[in-house]
Amino acid sequence: MADSELSHLRERAAHGDADAVGQLIELAADREDFDELRRLADSGSKDAADQLVELASEKGALAVLRHLTAGGNTDAADVSGRAD
């Protein structure tokens, strides 16, 4: 996907387009883009948070799991607790 297409998708997502959010989550998961998933999760997407927990768990990214846990994500806390 071209940068301009990605920017347009992000703009749509920022304006509440749920389809755009879903597409961004899917693209970020495929690219293993922790930053994009974190940005989407931080802006309130439960689906992005779930995908971020799953990706962090698969990749052993304990710092990401701890960050999510500190923000109150109980799924991240569960996974992080099993990884310790």
User: pLDDT grade, residue 83 (50/70/90)?
Assistant: low
Tell me the average pLDDT of the chain: 92
- Boundaries of every domain in the chain: 3-83
Q: What percent of the chain has pLDDT over 90?
A: 80
Q: What is the pLDDT of residue 84?
A: 55
Side-chain-facing half-sphere of 8: CA atoms under 13 Å: 5
pTM: 0.86
Task: Tell me what the mean pLDDT of segment 64-74 comes to.
Answer: 91
